[in-house]
Amino acid sequence: MQLEVRGVTKRFGDKEVLHGINFTVQSGRAMGFLGRNGAGKSTTIRCLMDVFHQDEGGFYIDGQPLDITKYRVGYLPEERGMYQKHTVLEQLVYFAQLRGATRAQALATANYWVDYFELGEYKKKKLETLSKGNQQKIQIAQSFLNEPDILILDEPFSGLDPVNAQVFKDTIARFVSEGKLVIFSSHQMNYVEEICDDVTLIHQGNILLTGDLEQIKRELGQNKLQLRIEGMDDEALADALRAAFPDIITLPHEDGLILDTQSRVTQQQVLDHVNRQGWTIHHYGLYTPSLNDIFIAKVGEQA
Amino acid sequence: MRDFGIVFKYELRQQLGKRTVQVTTLILVLIALAATSFPRISAMFSSDKDGQAAQADTTLTQDVGYVFADDAQRQAYTDLLGLQEGNHYAARDDLVAALKEKALKVGFVFTGDTSFETIYQDKGMEDRYESVLSQLVSQRHKDALLADKGLTTEDLAAIEAFAPDTTTIVMGKNTENNILLSMVLMVMVYMLVLIYGNTTSTMIAREKDSKAMELLITSTKPTPLILGKVAAAGVSGIVQFGLIVVAALGGFLFSQDYYSPMVRQMLLGSLSQSYILTYLFFSITGYILYLFLYAALGSTVSRVEDVGSATAVVQFIFIAGYVASTFVMNVPNGPVSVATSLIPFTAIMVMPMRAGLATVPAWQMIAAGALMLLTVALFAWLSIKIYRWGSLNYGNKTNIFKVLKEALRPQRRAKA
């Protein structure tokens, strides 16, 4: 199954917040949807969920226009909220029934996910009596009801402690391995990097990059080295290298200076220069950007 | 239809499962039962009291002293009241002395057949000895005058009780008979709409407040959601009020023999089948109409505490209908009554009131019914649109015209 977002534009009054965005999501591959606050992530997701209606463009599944009501969709909205004064199990059963399950199926799936998150003792308690963390788990549980074909999670990790985040990551991995279509937005790059096969970066309503995460890393790391010299600060090193190799571009980085050789300087030339200068290498290697580096670099380019 | 059933059952279970609703209903049922059984209960107590009072009526003998004008008068009152020797005093001064010593509460000094002086040492708020004795003296005087004419008190009562033999035929409705029941039913509809209207708008505003609405509208369509919620609120209101009516009716049937014939006539006189059908049709459809209005307005606010200000306009319209229905009592077929019974927002109370008090032309009844059904359908559709629009309109202050403009704007869908 392939979900295609094709030329989606959304305006609120005179303000255009999505400018004809395009990207695709494959089932069996988790897709991380990244962007700063107000970049357009939640608006895109709400258009996809048919909460908002896009002004132009559309969503397609395997080439056909998407009718979201025809699929079993698990959705975790950015604005968390369920019935505070209703009991945990009865409202999960209610949501499962509204999404097409029979009463018996709804009871089975609700019980399964409450037990899965080790919240069985709270089934008959009102939601408001649970701790914030446990309420968050119930919110997540509701998105997993009825074994969804498509899972759309808006900032799923916010409010989760490390233990629950791990449980959640394992669950997403399970859905991905079962060939489900999974999209989730997040600010937390480490989680996205761990789970996602693909990423899409949105900034001010435009897609900055989209595709396979490893390939993006390789492409963005091409012709880049990372170097740190004992007893020398990165700024002095950058000045020295630029004097020796005028074509080189240097970029500061917390793990050591990044050298973009532009394919005009070889690794050997750099190492020979280090040896000639009698510098002692503290760290040297090919540079592979982290998702965080990619995010900062790409968004920074647009600033 | 399937989702409507799910929403309806869930919301109804939530509504009727609330402890506060159950306790309030129980209290109101008991009050209704007690209120309508009151004449019987009150009769049980009052008959005992009367008996006790009859046995122990010592108003004019206990601690009361008399000085009579002459022996004949003394003998007559002694026989009439059963006076003892201790009640008699030879002179006014003796009586005053006894009052000062607190041996008596009150003293009477007769100065003639129909004149007497009343003397208290201390007079309490409730002391009415002189008025009781005055009635007795008056009755004696009246009897004496009648006797002079050769008549008795019974003869006089028979003369005064005469009434001509007449028959009154009311071809249409008798306002006197129907007004009490019509007012009671009108007040019930008034309470039903205000209580459950607010419940409906609060229910929907709370979903926005708790952010549950986004989950709901991505789980099903707005139509089953709003229809299910309104139906659940409507049915729970009817169940609650139905129980109160059954309790009140039960209490009335239990005690109907103890109601005065006039009250019984006023309550039962209007209960014709056509009146009941008219009342049920306009009350229930009007109630549903208002619930849709309240639901739509509830979805335009983001916080529960804003519900009151958002629904004020509906309450104003509804109260105007209530005021109009009180006007109808005086002129059931006047132009204002006819107009307000045709307008659906006021017809909810005005038409049943008119139908109870006067004969409503068939065309007006049919026109009002048709208008009511059309308006309910229109506002059901509008409330679905407003609910859908309002579901994600958080925080923005707006007005009803802006809401309607935005809610009715056509939405673009993805095309192949």
* Residue of chain A minimizing CA distance to B4: A98
Helices and strands of chain B, counted as H and E runs: 17, 3
A to B CB pairs, distance under 8 Å: 67
**Is residue A281 within 8 Å of residue A227, measured between CB atoms?**
yes
pLDDT value, residue B92:
93
Sheet containing A31-34: give its strands across: A73-76, A150-154, A181-186, A31-34, A198-203, A206-212
Residue range A75-88, pLDDT digits in tens: 998 878 898 889 99
pLDDT attached to residue A142: 93
Which residues in B lie closer than 8 A to residue A82 (C-beta atoms)? Answer: 210, 212, 215
Give the angle B359-B361-B367 at the CA atoms, nearest 5°. Answer: 130
Residue B268 has pLDDT above 90, yes or no: no
- Separation between Cα atoms, residue A271 and residue A278, nearest integer Å: 11
B216: closest chain A residue by CA: A95
More confident residue, B129 or A9: A9
Predicted local distance difference test score (pLDDT) of residue B203: 87
**Chain B residue with Cα closest to A55:** B412
Question: Cβ contact (<8 Å) for A77 and B215?
Answer: yes
Say whether pLDDT at B415 is over 60: no
Residue-wise pLDDT tens digits, A124-147: 999 999 988 888 889 999 999 988
- CA B237 centroid distance within chain: 19
**Alpha helices per DSSP H over B210-272:** 213-217, 222-255, 261-268
Among A51, A65, A98, beta carbon nearest to B6: A98
A82/B212 Cβ within 8 A: yes
Q: Is residue B306 predicted with pLDDT exceeding 60?
A: yes
Q: Do B215 and A99 touch (CB under 8 A)?
A: no
Give chain A positions within 8 Å (CB) of B411: 53
Token digits for B81?
A: 């009241």
Taking an 8 Å cut-off on Cβ atoms, the answer to whether A65 and B215 are in contact is no
Smallest Cα distance from B409 to chain A, Å:
12
Mean pLDDT of B277-288: 91
Mutate to test the interface with A, among B210, B388, B393, B405 (most CBs of A within 10 A): B210
- Determine, for residues B415 and A65 on separate chains, whether the beta-carbon distance falls below 8 Å: yes
Q: Is residue A58 less than 8 Å (CB to CB) from chain B?
A: yes
Give the mean model confidence (pLDDT) for residues A290-299. 83
Q: Report whether A151 contacts A180 (CB < 8 A).
A: yes
CA distance B416 to A62: 12
State residue B170's pLDDT score. 67
- Chain B: closest CA distance from residue A73 (Å): 9
Tokens of A303: 């600033």
Tokens encoding B139: 């009755």
A13 vs B: CB within 8 A: no
Chain B: residue nearest A79 by CA?
A: B211
pLDDT tens digits, one per residue of A247-278: 888 888 888 888 888 778 888 888 888 899 88
**Of the candidates A159, A260, A144, A195, which has an alpha carbon nearest to the alpha carbon of residue A34?**
A195
Helix (H) or strand (E) holding B117: strand B116-120
- Chain B interface residues (partner A, CB cutoff 8 A): 3, 6-7, 10, 14, 207, 210-221, 391-392, 411-416
> Which of A58, A90, A142 is the closest to B215 by Cβ?
A142
Q: Are strands A2-12 and A31-34 parallel, antiparallel or unpaired?
A: unpaired
pTM over the 0.80 mark: no
Give per-residue pLDDT as tens, B350-384: 888 888 878 888 899 999 999 999 999 999 999 88
As for the ipTM of the complex, it is 0.81
Confidence at residue B323, expressed as pLDDT on a 0 to 100 scale: 82
Nearest to B212 among A56, A83, A97 (CB): A83
Give chain A's mean pLDDT: 88
Q: Model confidence at B416, in pLDDT bands (50, 70, 90)?
A: very low
**Nearest chain A residue to B210, by CA:** A81
Q: Find which of A62, A75, A83 to mutate to test the B interface (most B CBs within 10 Å of its CB).
A: A83
The answer, yes or no, to whether residue B71 has pLDDT greater than 70, is yes
Residues above pLDDT 90, as percent of chain A: 41
Which residue type occupies B349?
M
- Between B215, B392, B415, which is nearest A58 by CB? B415
Closest CA in chain B for residue A8: B414
Which of B6, B391, B415 is closest, CB to CB, to A97?
B6
pLDDT in tens, A84-119: 889 999 999 999 999 989 999 999 999 999 999 889
State the smallest CA–CA distance between residue A253 and chain B in angstroms.
42
Please tell me the predicted confidence (pLDDT) of residue B308: 84
Residues 63-92 on A with a CB inside 8 Å of B are: 64-66, 68-69, 73, 75, 77, 79-84, 86, 90
In this complex, which of B10, B211, B220 lies closest to A80 when CB atoms are compared?
B211
Q: What does the pLDDT read at residue B21?
A: 86
Residue with more model confidence, B259 or A65: A65
Q: What's the CA gap between A142 and A82, in Å, rounded?
A: 9
pLDDT-derived band at B176 (thresholds 50, 70, 90) equals low
Task: Starting at the earlier edge strand, list the strands of the sheet with A257-260.
Answer: A249-251, A257-260, A224-229, A281-286
Contacts of A97 in chain B (CB under 8 A): 6
Cβ separation of A81 and B211 shorter than 8 Å? yes
Residue B53 confidence (pLDDT) above 50: no
Do A98 and B392 count as a contact with CB atoms less than 8 A apart?
no
Is-contact A227 A253, C-beta < 8 A? no
Q: Between B214, B219, B414, which is nearest A65 by CB?
A: B414
Res A31 pLDDT > 90 = yes
DSSP H or E segment with residue B67: strand B64-67
Dihedral-angle region of residue A180 (phi above 0 means left; psi in -120 to 50 means alpha; beta otherwise): beta
Residues of chain A with C-beta less than 8 angstroms from the C-beta of B227: none
Mode of pairing for the β-strands spanning B64-67 and B106-110: parallel
B414 contacts in chain A (CB < 8 Å): 54, 57-60, 65-66
**A95 interfaces chain B, CB cutoff of 8 Å:** yes
Q: Which chain A residues contact residue B391 at CB under 8 A?
A: 51
Q: Hey, which residues does A227 pair with through a beta bridge?
A: A257, A284
- Four-CA torsion B72, B75, B79, B80, nearest 10 degrees: 50
pLDDT of B133 higher than 70: yes
Per-residue confidence (pLDDT) for residue B69, from 0 to 100: 92
Q: Provide, as residue numbers in chain A, all residues whose Cβ is less than 8 Å from the Cβ of B213.
A: 81
Q: Do B412 and A55 touch (CB under 8 A)?
A: yes
Cα–Cα distance, A239 to A79 (Å, whole number): 49
Confidence of residue B412 (pLDDT cuts 50, 70, 90): very low
How confident is the model at residue A58, as a pLDDT? Answer: 93
pLDDT at B54: 45
Q: What percent of chain B has pLDDT over 70?
A: 87
Q: What is the pLDDT of residue B396?
A: 59
